[in-house]
Amino acid sequence: MFVSTAFAQTATDSQPAPVSGTDSGSPVVHTETGVAHEAGKGVFPPFDSTHYASQLLWLAITFGLFYLFMSRVVLPRIGGVIETRRDRIAQDLEQAARLKTDADNAIAAYEQELAEARKRAVIIGQEARDKAKADIEAERKTAEASLEKKLAEAETHIAAIKNKAMNDLSAIAEDTAAEIVEKLLGVKTDKAEITASVKAVSA
pLDDT per position as a tens digit, 26-50: 444 444 444 444 444 567 777 777 8
- Note whether residue 187 is domain-resident: yes
In the chain, the number of structural domains is: 2
Q: Domain boundary residue among 26, 46, 68?
A: 68
198 belongs to a structural domain: yes
Q: Is the pTM of this model over 0.75?
A: no
Q: What is the pLDDT of residues 82-141, one digit of tens each?
A: 999 999 999 999 999 999 999 999 999 999 999 999 999 999 999 999 999 999 999 989
In a domain, 134, yes or no: no
Q: Evaluate whether residue 107 is within a structural domain.
A: no
Query: Read out DSSP for 88-135?
Result: HHHHHHHHHHHHHHHHHHHHHHHHHHHHHHHHHHHHHHHHHHHHHHHH
More confident residue, 173 or 123: 123
Domain boundary among 13, 48, 68: 68
* Structural domain contains residue 104: no
Q: Which of 44, 68, 92 is the last residue of a domain?
A: 68
> Which domain, by its residues, includes 36?
5-68
Q: Is residue 100 part of a domain?
A: no
**Residue 22 counted as domain residue:** yes
User: Does 95 map to a domain?
Assistant: no
